[in-house]
Amino acid sequence: MCIIGAYKKATLNTDVYFAAVMLSLEEQSNLLTQSINRMKTESDLGKRDELRDNVLQSVYFLVVPKCLKEVRFLRYFVCSD
């Protein structure tokens, strides 16, 4: 972006050929910036997905064994006559 900013301030910005080159460069620079921002967003989402999965897995391993233990306990007393 520094090159594009310097070009806009320079006297060369009236040159037709150079203007076409710089316009193309500016468009490509904008596309590159958008792609980088998208990658950052996807990376953040991936990290958050992984964190969510880890939390859910932790809750599962914390809750399910206790529930199974309770079920076995209740089954023992209900079924034993």
Q: 14: which DSSP letter?
A: G
- Kindly tell me if the per-residue pLDDT of 32 is higher than 60: yes
- Cα angle for residues 62, 66, 72 (degrees, 5° grid): 155
Torsional sign, CA 40, 44, 49, 50: positive
Strand, helix or coil for residue 1? coil
Q: Look at the pTM and tell me if it is higher than 0.75.
A: no
Model pLDDT for residues 43-79, shown as the tens digit of each residue: 888 888 888 888 888 888 777 777 777 666 666 666 6
Domain extents in the chain: 2-79
What is the number of alpha carbons within 13 Å of residue 62 lying toward its C-beta?
A: 6
